[in-house]
Amino acid sequence: MHTSKISGLGYYVPENVVTNDDLSKMMDTNDEWIQERTGIKQRRHIKKGDGNSTSIMGVKAAKIAIERANVSKDDIELIIFATLSPDMYFPGGGVRVQDMLDMKTVPALDVRNQCSGFVYAISVADQFIKTGMYENVLVIGSENHSGGLDMTTRGRGVSVIFGDGAGAAVLTRSKEEGRGILSTHLHSQGAHAKELSLEGPSTEHWVPKIIEENPQESIPYYPYMNGQFVFKNAVARFSEVINEGLKANHLTAADINMLIPHQANLRISQFVQRQFKLSDDQVYNNIQKYGNTTAASIPIALTEAWEEGKINKGDLVVLAAFGSGFTWGSAIIRW
């Protein structure tokens, strides 16, 4: 039986720092409200002309991960690209990475699971490695949120939360039993699809057609979030799916060395931390610096935690995510 391990990690965030005070110049909001409700102090936004896009940031993160994995781009046999903000409506970001990294004609798969995108993506990568089909898989989570947010007071309940960035991991086949990705656990509940969504442009809200048929109709082309409903579901599902993962491996919360939660809201992470009785050193948070970067948040946080020496050989690392779909998932990793 093969197992997969994370052999390399990297991240990239745009240079442009946007503080809460910067946002208060664009909309009716303030630093106190944002920090109190979300913990966020600043985020990064792509700046016009800085040469970044969702796939370009993904490539920058991927280059670092590939180098650290000690493999070459030609050793990668599958690209999995998780995003809700692709450069183009189609094709997805994976093929653009294949092109920009000048890789062989390897398969490129896009994952559309929003905040759970990275957990879903590493689960897919893990299955391909476990079956023996591939040895090295590149997994990327990348988001350009700033390109599509409503930066007026109308959109403040959503726009202050999200930031841009990318994270990447190389998953490599390993023969060390009991180490690497022990298990992944994925869920969805489409009944709540609209509670956190961006409806258009899409086939149901096709801009040229709507304008032609009804020039007065407003097009729902900014993200919508029913914040309190999402919050309540998030805290419940995070706990559930972490417990599910621990139980499947006959482990308990006391075994966790590092929990990397999707950076949705610092209050959600703190709630989960209290539920599992974890210390500050056992939960990694960087939402204060980057906001919520959706599919990129876990790989950015995982990379930073690893770079800071907070994840060491033998540690039990738990990844957990919840978001639009609703989708949620966890990964239990023995480092």
Residues labelled as active-site residues: 115, 262, 292
Q: Which two tokens stand for residue 42?
A: 């600043």
Task: Give bridge partners of residue 328 from the DSSP assignment.
Answer: 187, 322
Applying CB under 6 A, the span of 54-62, 92-100, 154-162, 237-245 interacting with ligand UT7 comes to 154-162
Q: Residue 54 contacts by C-beta under 8 Å, 6 or more apart in sequence?
A: 83, 85, 86, 87, 93, 142, 143, 144, 166
Name the minimum Å distance from CB 33 to ligand UT7: 4
Name the minimum Å distance from CB 68 to ligand UT7: 27
Q: Residue 183 contacts by C-beta under 8 Å, 6 or more apart in sequence?
A: 245, 248, 249, 331, 332
Name the minimum Å distance from CB 206 to ligand UT7: 26
Residue 52 near ligand UT7 by CB under 6 A: no
Among 137, 264, 278, 287, binds ligand UT7 (CB under 6 A): 264
Nearer to ligand UT7, 29 or 285 (CB): 29
CA 18 to chain centre: 20
Question: Within 190-249, which residues bind ligand UT7 (CB under 6 A)?
Answer: 227-228, 230-231, 234
Among 93, 223, 299, 323, binds ligand UT7 (CB under 6 A): 323
Among 2, 19, 22, 33, binds ligand UT7 (CB under 6 A): 33
Nearer to ligand UT7, 34 or 181 (CB): 34
Instruction: End-to-end CA distance of the chain: give it in Å, rounded.
Output: 18
Among 84, 121, 182, 268, binds ligand UT7 (CB under 6 A): 268
Using Cβ positions, the residue closest to ligand UT7 within the complex turns out to be: 227
| Cα–Cα nearest to 323, from 27, 87, 140, 119 | 119
Nearer to ligand UT7, 34 or 71 (CB): 34
Nearer to ligand UT7, 40 or 62 (CB): 40
Name the minimum Å distance from CB 184 to ligand UT7: 19
Q: Where are the alpha helices (DSSP H) in the chain?
A: 20-24, 31-38, 54-68, 93-100, 117-130, 156-159, 207-213, 227-248, 266-275, 287-290, 297-307
CB atoms within 10 A of CB 186: 17
Name the minimum Å distance from CB 267 to ligand UT7: 7
Instruction: Collapse the DSSP code of 143 into the 3-class scheme (helix H, G, I; strand E, B; otherwise coil) and give the result.
Output: strand
d(CA 297, CA 116): 10
Q: Which residues bind ligand UT7 (CB under 6 A)?
A: 29, 33-34, 37-38, 115, 156-157, 160-161, 227-228, 230-231, 234, 264-265, 268, 292, 323
